[in-house]
Amino acid sequence: MYRERIDGQRPQPTHFAGPVGATGQRPLRRRVHTREILLTSAEQLFIERGYAQVSVSDICGAAGFTRGAFYSSFADKDDLMLALFDQHAGERLERLRAMLTDAPARNADEWAQSLLAVTPQDRGWILLFLEFRLLAVRQPELAAKIDHHDEVVTAALADILGQQPWASRFPAPQLAKFLLAAREGILARTVRDDGSAPDMVRAVIAVATKAFAALNTDPE
């Protein structure tokens, strides 16, 4: 079994011990390709039906692979979902890292938007995200895995923030925890669909924008 690294890079599966060299890379590439198709197919099914209503057989049927192919990539359905968590977090963090690397002093609103903004197209993933977290409430082993995911994401975000010129003025780990907690609050409010989400999102982004702007201002 292996998991996506949070930075979006795909490690080699530790259970695979095929031949080395160009010939050995072909089976590895096939496994990576199979895994990507399984992830994409599963995410589409989860969003359409809900996590609990989708079986491993459903995923295999949609992806066009056997159960053996599934279990050569993932331990179970939860393991696949955790890989999707990693994938989404990794993509968002890489966008933020690229933004701050290309223009460290760019508009603070862009930073806040990149971290916190959601769109109507995100609603399916948000529902899935919250459903899986709620499922873990009564499953201590799964909850521990999600906690580990959260710790890795927080550390990765803190690392990105800690590389900014203002990092010495505000603890990056605390800022990372605040931003991720704010984002989870936004996600939870967004799915209510009662009209309150846009105001909340704007308010939180406004506060985050002011915080980033203040950090980017040279102290007198």
Q: Does residue 182 lie in a domain region?
A: yes
pTM of the model: 0.79
- Quick: pLDDT tens for 68-113: 999 999 999 999 999 999 999 999 899 888 887 766 555 677 778 8
Looking at 12, 43, 74, the residue that finishes a domain is 74
**Which pLDDT belongs to residue 23?**
53
Structure tokens at 135: 């499922």
Residues 175 and 127 in one domain: yes
- Quick: pLDDT tens for 34-59: 999 999 999 999 999 999 999 999 99
Residues 113 and 31 in one domain: no
Q: Of 205, 199, 207, which Cα lies nearest the Cα of 113?
A: 205
Total structural domains within the chain: 2
Check residues 95 and 60 and name the one with the higher pLDDT: 60
Give residue 22's pLDDT band: very low, low, confident or very high (50, 70, 90): low
- Quick: pLDDT tens for 157-180: 999 988 887 777 888 999 899 999
CATH number for the domain that contains residue 41: 1.10.10.60
Q: Which residues of 81-111 are buried (b: 16+ CB within 10 A; e: fewer)?
A: bbbbbbbbbbebbbebbebbeeeeeeebbbb
Give residue 16's pLDDT band: very low, low, confident or very high (50, 70, 90): very low
- Which DSSP helix (H) or strand (E) runs through 220? none
Residues 203 and 124 in one domain: yes
Residues 168 and 205 in one domain: yes
Domain that holds residue 33: 25-74
Q: Residue 6 pLDDT more than 60?
A: no
DSSP secondary structure letters along the chain: -----TTS--PPPTT-----HHHHHHHHHHHHHHHHHHHHHHHHHHHHH-GGG--HHHHHHHHT--HHHHHTT-SSHHHHHHHHHHHHHHHHHHHHHHHHHH-TTS-HHHHHHHHH---GGGHHHHHHHHHHHHHHTT-HHHHHHHHHHHHHHHHHHHHHHHTSTTGGGS-HHHHHHHHHHHHHHHHHHHTT-SS-HHHHHHHHHHHHHHHHHHHTSPP-
Weakest-pLDDT range from 119-128, 190-199, 204-213: 190-199
DSSP secondary structure letters along 4-45: --TTS--PPPTT-----HHHHHHHHHHHHHHHHHHHHHHHHH
Q: Residue 17 pLDDT more than 50?
A: no
Looking at 59, 74, 89, the residue that finishes a domain is 74
| Main-chain dihedrals φ then ψ at residue 53, nearest 5 degrees | -90, 0
- Quick: pLDDT tens for 103-159: 655 567 777 888 888 877 888 999 999 999 999 999 999 999 999 999 999 999 999
Q: Residue 11 pLDDT more than 70?
A: no
Q: What is the distance between the alpha carbons of residues 7 and 89, in angstroms, rounded to a whole number?
A: 8
